[in-house]
Structure 1
């Protein structure tokens, strides 16, 4: 593993020297070059899990690479999203509709990511409902691509008492509704 990481770092330095002219002139290396270098560092993919220790370890492992490469904040967010596979990819496809991908920072990505993969009291029935709802939206393009339709279907699927509490808060977006419902259940 260390030999692979060392080989990746060596390749990074070779690539870095090749891009130094672009950096010296103020031009930014191509996004593809940044991603190619990042992938050579052999980051772990993330397929989703309910184990918070695995999730935290994944975040820490990619942040080590980000720090080493001195990536810009938006490049960090892009690279992190490219590593999602399986259930995490389905979740991100849905979650990405509630953020501006052009201006998404790494901290913004982590905020959305943490709201999905961490809860205060471990997984809850509402957190499970949200996770399953997001997975299901992937297979219903009308709902996945229409924010109003998604919000309406989400609200209709909630237990009556939770639906009332969320409606009173008047959420304007699906992300806000999810945040509110998780806080309501916790209360």
Structure 2
């Protein structure tokens, strides 16, 4: 286990990812609350270490619980306005020119920020279908998938079929000659 130092970031997903990676290590090592906080503080570098010096004036790190530490950390590096923006982006997410695989990456990330949808299989399934490109959505709905996983499989197949149709149409076009 080699946890990474944290020197700060302007990308909230990196900050959240850092916390999540620590939690995996802590779970594996069966680390309790006070040790979790001490370990995280030990990994702070540069501006984050300066920020923590200020926080220490208002909290006692020896009695600070991990959940409270995470709240303080995320308030700084994953602010409420950023979370609200990510939720809004997810609610209006559409496939557009993205491949199904690229859309799924954005969709899954969005489910993390909108647990009312991400944690409800039917809501997740419906939101995914609505976000698909119309031709792919039609194919998915015609297959009458029972859940998100089967809708995703059908969307990937539909996208490949549409690519195959397009490639075949391209190969049958006559060559134009310019004289």
TM range (shorter): 0.3 to 0.5
Q: Which has the larger radius of gyration?
A: 2
* TM-score using structure 1 length: 0.42
* TM-score using structure 2 length: 0.44
